[in-house]
């Protein structure tokens, strides 16, 4: 059976214009795994409130980071795809969970090349309801409806794979070389606390306290919080970071429900108030730079730090199309193709 790969990232509006941003946000926020409340309440919140106020502000943010070639996330993802294509012997397509580059289009592209077996590759190191799970569910729905004879296998979360940690650590080390920093902040995309509990396959382990994420459990296979903390721990170990010179936080919260803490913006503010004058920040929940890294962290985060008296604010890029990252993903794909 001919094999192929579908890389899947989050997505982006077609342009930074409010109309396109509104369309994109509508699809994204109406996903039941992003805002996981009953449909009627979700529609009222999203269409009745958020989409009447947020698109204009979000469009302004997108305009700040938009590249001449297009959306940074899309451009970077295509570069990654092209580089991987040059290293593997099977077709590699690219899709987005939201927006015009749909998963259906990606699967169709592979099927038209004679592919019968697909490796679905969510470009997320950690598992989360609102990222990996929604991709898997959407892909399966599309397969049943349009490609019933297609076999799909997915790549599990790779947050703790030693070769991934090696590549991530090497990238961080390279960007920190020669940079004055007193503290390294690992900022991950936040999720509502209820998502952690909903993903707990044991139905009892996840307490979101100081011990559950470090106590061995089968729940960790799908626990986003554990997986984020584990990336921080493994990288700190690899880079031999001193205790107290690094920490973990969570960004991009939405609404008023409790989200994973500590919050990134408040952590940056606290570090500045405590006298840290030079800090660095890395965002390991993202493999491609995007609005959340280029605007929320590199611009807004830096502004907060400077307002608190900070000097040097070093933003470490995502792995993007880094050659070591390309080599790693290509190796995983080639190993799968041999089986």
Q: Which of 157, 190, 225 corresponds to the end of one domain?
A: 157
Nearest to 315 by CA among 305, 326, 329: 305
Residue 324 inside a domain? The answer is no
CA distances from 185 to 101, 162, 273 (A): 33, 21, 15
Residue 269 in marked binding region? no
Residue 124 inside a domain? The answer is yes
Residue 130 tokens read as: 């609102």
The number of C-alpha atoms within 13 Å of 39 and in the hemisphere containing its C-beta is 0
Exposed (0-12), middle (13-18) or buried (19+): which is 210, by Cβ within 10 Å? Answer: exposed
pLDDT in the model for residue 248: 98
Residue 47 inside a domain? The answer is yes
Exposed (0-12), middle (13-18) or buried (19+): which is 169, by Cβ within 10 Å? Answer: middle
Per DSSP, the residues of 267-334 read HHHHHHHTT--EEEEE-TT-SS--HHHHTIIIIIIHHHHHHTT--EEEEPP--TT-HHHHHHHHHHHH
**Residues 168 and 152 grouped into a single domain:** no
CA distance 285 to 288: 9
* C-beta separation of 277 from 311 below 8 A: yes
**Residues 66 and 116 grouped into a single domain:** yes
CA distance 26 to 201: 30
* C-beta separation of 134 from 279 below 8 A: no
Question: Any bridge partners for residue 250, and if so which?
Answer: 188, 263
**Residues 131 and 168 grouped into a single domain:** no
| DSSP conformational letter for 259 | B
**Residues 21 and 153 grouped into a single domain:** yes
Cis peptide before 192 (omega within 30 of 0): no
**Residues 131 and 208 grouped into a single domain:** no
| DSSP conformational letter for 263 | B
**Residues 14 and 150 grouped into a single domain:** yes
What range does the domain containing 105 cover?
3-157
Total domains in the fold of the chain: 2
Residue 53 inside a domain? The answer is yes
**Residues 147 and 217 grouped into a single domain:** no
**Residues 151 and 212 grouped into a single domain:** no
**Residues 146 and 224 grouped into a single domain:** no
CATH of the domain at 44: 3.40.50.1400
CA distance 233 to 318: 18
**Residues 181 and 135 grouped into a single domain:** no
R_g over Cα of the chain? 20
Residue 321 inside a domain? The answer is no
* C-beta separation of 35 from 29 below 8 A: yes
Q: Which residue has the tokens 């700190």?
A: 236
**Residues 216 and 308 grouped into a single domain:** yes
Q: Which of 123, 157, 191 corresponds to the end of one domain?
A: 157
Residue 339 inside a domain? The answer is no
CA distances from 270 to 89, 186, 188, 263, 277 (A): 50, 15, 17, 10, 12
List, for the chain, all residue ranges whose pLDDT scores fall below the cut of 70. none
Nearest to 262 by CA among 236, 235, 241, 232: 232
Residue 146 in marked binding region? no
| DSSP conformational letter for 241 | P
pLDDT in the model for residue 339: 86
Residue 331 inside a domain? The answer is no
pTM comes to 0.97
pLDDT in the model for residue 309: 97
Residue 326 inside a domain? The answer is no
CA distance 263 to 85: 38
pLDDT in the model for residue 256: 84
**Residues 168 and 153 grouped into a single domain:** no
């Amino acid at each position: 059976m001919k094999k192929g790969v579908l890389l899947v990232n989050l997505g982006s509006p077609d342009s930074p214009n409010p109309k396109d941003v509104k369309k994109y946000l509508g699809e994204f926020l109406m996903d039941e795994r992003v805002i996981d409340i009953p449909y009627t309440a979700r529609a009222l919140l999203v269409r009745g409130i958020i989409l009447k106020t947020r698109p204009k502000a979000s469009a302004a943010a997108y305009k700040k980071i938009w590249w001449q070639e297009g959306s940074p996330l899309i451009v970077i993802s295509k570069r990654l795809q092209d580089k991987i294509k040059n290293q593997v012997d099977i077709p590699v397509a690219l899709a987005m969970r939201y927006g015009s580059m749909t998963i259906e289009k990606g699967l169709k592209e592979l099927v038209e090349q004679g592919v019968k077996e697909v490796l679905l590759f969510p470009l997320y190191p950690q598992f989360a309801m609102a990222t990996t799970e929604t991709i898997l569910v959407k892909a399966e729905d599309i397969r049943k409806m349009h490609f019933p004879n297609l076999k799909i296998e997915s790549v599990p979360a790779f947050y703790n794979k030693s070769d991934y940690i090696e590549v991530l650590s090497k990238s961080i080390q390279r960007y920190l070389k020669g940079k004055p920093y007193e503290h390294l902040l690992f900022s991950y995309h936040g999720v509502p606390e209820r998502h952690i509990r909903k993903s707990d396959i044991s139905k009892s382990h996840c307490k979101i306290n100081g011990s559950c994420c470090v106590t061995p459990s089968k729940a960790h296979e799908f626990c986003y919080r554990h997986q984020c903390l584990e990336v921080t721990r493994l990288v700190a170990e690899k880079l031999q970071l001193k205790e107290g010179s690094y920490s973990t936080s969570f960004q991009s919260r939405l609404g008023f429900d409790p989200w994973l803490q500590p919050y990134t913006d408040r952590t940056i503010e606290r570090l500045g108030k405590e006298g840290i004058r030079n800090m660095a920040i890395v965002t390991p929940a993202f493999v491609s730079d995007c609005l959340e890294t280029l605007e929320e962290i590199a611009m807004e985060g830096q502004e907060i730090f400077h307002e608190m008296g900070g000097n040097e604010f070093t933003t470490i890029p995502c792995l993007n199309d880094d050659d070591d990252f390309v080599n790693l993903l290509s190796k995983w794909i080639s190993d799968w193709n041999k089986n």
